[in-house]
A = this chain, B = another copy of it.
Amino acid sequence: MKIFTVNFRVRSYECDSYGHVNNATYLNYLEFARMSALFEKGFSLDSMKKNGYLVVIRRIEIDYKFPLYMNDEVFIKTFASEARKTSGTFTQQIFRAENNQLAAEARVTWVFIDQGGQPISIPAEIQEAFEIGSP
C-alpha cells in the first residue's frame, strides 16, 4: 500500500467567520492531495481522458476532529484502503504538522468510468500506481 503525502500551509481566504478553515475547504484539500498523488505518478485529467477513462467521486465521509487555523502547516496522507471490481476507497488523513494532530479523516469512494459514463474495472496502470490489491 503506497502512502502519498502532500504539504501546505492554510491560507487566509480558506478561513471563515468562525476564524478557522471552512468545512467545505477540507474537500478542496482532499482533492488537491488526490490530484497530487495522480500527478506524482504521471497521471492527469488529460492523460486519463486520452486513455479512455475518468475517475469520479461517489461518496465522501469526513470526520472533523480539530479545527485548522490560518498559517497552520498541514500534511495529508492519502492511500487506497479498499478496492472492489469497479470502485474503491481512498482513506485521507489531514494532520496539523506542529503536533502531528489528526485534524480530519475522510473516506472517499470513487469509481472509474468510460467516455459514456459507464463504470469500468480499475485501470491496470492505476492499480499499479496506487498499489491497489486485485479486487
Interface residues of A (CB under 8 A from B): 8-9, 11-13, 15-19, 22-25, 27-28, 31-32, 35-36, 39, 44-45, 54, 56-64, 70-71
Contact = CB atoms under 8 A, between A and B. Distances in A.
Contact of A59 (B35, B45, B63): B63
How many monomers of this protein are in the complex?
4
Contacts of A35: 11-12, 70-71
Contacts of A11: 28, 31-32, 35
B13 A15 contact: no
A64 B71 contact: no
- A interface SS class: mixed
Given A24-B28, A45-B70, A64-B59, A15 B16 contact: yes
A41 B41 CA distance: 37
A79 B23 CA distance: 19
Given A15-B16, A15-B17, A58-B63, 17 more contacts: A9-B36, A11-B32, A11-B35, A12-B17, A12-B31, A12-B32, A12-B35, A13-B28, A16-B17, A23-B27, A24-B27, A24-B28, A24-B31, A44-B71, A58-B64, A59-B61, A59-B63
A107 to B, nearest CB: 9
A69 B17 CA distance: 10
